[in-house]
Amino acid sequence: LRLLEQREQEDKAKLEWLRAAAKEGFDAADRGDYVALSSDQEIDDFVDQVRREVSEKLVAEKVRA
């Protein structure tokens, strides 16, 4: 029973996080803060760029720590 209650709490927390993330995304789109991609190549290039930026930030955080 405790395990079931724990899973329900975890599911509830995940759902709350997902709702907040969705709201943040919709609010950004309403402000016009988005990138329009027209082709598979543009999508691939954008994902690669984001991956590089995140990797660089993670490396910088590790160096600071």
For residue 59, name the pLDDT band (cuts at 50, 70, 90).
very high
> How confident is the model over 60-65, as a mean pLDDT?
90
**Helix H or strand E segment including 12:** helix 2-30
Retrieve residue 6's tokens: 């724990």
Q: Which sign does the torsion angle of CA 8, 20, 39, 47 carry?
A: negative
46 in Cβ contact with 37 (< 8 Å):
yes
Segment 2-51, tens digit of pLDDT? 999 999 999 999 999 999 999 999 999 999 999 899 999 999 999 999 99
At residue 65, the pLDDT reads: 82
46 in Cβ contact with 35 (< 8 Å):
yes
At residue 19, the pLDDT reads: 97
